Amino acid sequence: MRKLLPLFALLLAGCATKAPMPVPAPRPAPSPVQVPGPALTPVDYVTRIASIEQFVARACALGLERTRDPALRNRLEALATDHRGLSAQLRMAGQRVNLLPSPRLNATERQWLAMLEASQPFEVGLQRRLLQAHQEAVILHERFAAAGGSPTLRQFARFALAAERDHAGALGMNRFLAR
């Protein structure tokens, strides 16, 4: 045992003479998120989002007419309720900046509605069209929240973005039609 003590002492001394580990340099602050695509004017943003909201409302109503599945009906009712709230918030924000949303569908959303009405099986088409609408809404909200020309509408875009992402996630992961 006495023979091992000098060896242990030597090992400990060797460990103590090591230079301290260098501290990593702090990382630079992340740059602001840049969402690709042309800048949206407040008019373009309100027009597109209002049309998407109308499409979602009509798609949910059509789904409630055509499906008898109680679980799907509950999810459609919840989605419709969420979007009625988003539409009301959009109207309030639009009023503050003198841009009232139109209740009409744009050409794109009219096409989506026609495709939905003709889809077979209906529930699969419903999920696809709702997912497409939510993905488009997420892109528009991200773009406007990052660089929109109206602080009031940018605030709405940030608010709506969270709900739209949740809905798109549920639709994209097939949880919407899950029984």
DSSP string, 21-65: PPPPPPPPPPPPP---SPPPPHHHHHHHHHHHHHHHHHHHHHHHH
Q: Is the pLDDT of residue 16 over 60?
A: no
**Phi, psi at residue 20, to the nearest 5°?**
-65, 150
Q: How confident is the model at residue 33 (pLDDT cuts 50, 70, 90)?
A: very low
> Is 43 within a domain?
yes
Q: What is the CATH number for 96? A: 1.20.1260.10
Q: What is the mean pLDDT of the chain?
A: 84
Contact 106, 45 (CB under 8 A): no
User: Can you give the pLDDT at residue 18?
Assistant: 53
Residues of the domain holding 156 = 37-172
> Is 101 within a domain?
yes
User: Can you give the pLDDT at residue 2?
Assistant: 55
> Is 162 within a domain?
yes
pTM over 0.85: no
Burial of 143: CB neighbours in 10 Å, binned 0-12, 13-18, 19+? buried
> Is 12 within a domain?
no
Give the separation between CA 13 and CA 29, rounded to whole angstroms.
41
Give how many domains the chain has, as a whole number.
1
> Is 146 within a domain?
yes
> Is 21 within a domain?
no
Q: How confident is the model at residue 32 (pLDDT cuts 50, 70, 90)?
A: very low
Q: Which residue has the tokens 């042309």?
A: 38
> Is 93 within a domain?
yes
Q: How confident is the model at residue 38 (pLDDT cuts 50, 70, 90)?
A: confident
Residue whose C-alpha is closest to residue 133's, from 52, 60, 58: 52
Would you tell me how many other CB atoms lie within 10 Å of the CB of residue 138?
18
**% of residues, the chain, pLDDT over 90:** 68
User: Can you give the pLDDT at residue 172?
Assistant: 79
> Is 63 within a domain?
yes
User: For the chain, how many helices (H) and strands (E)?
Assistant: 6, 0
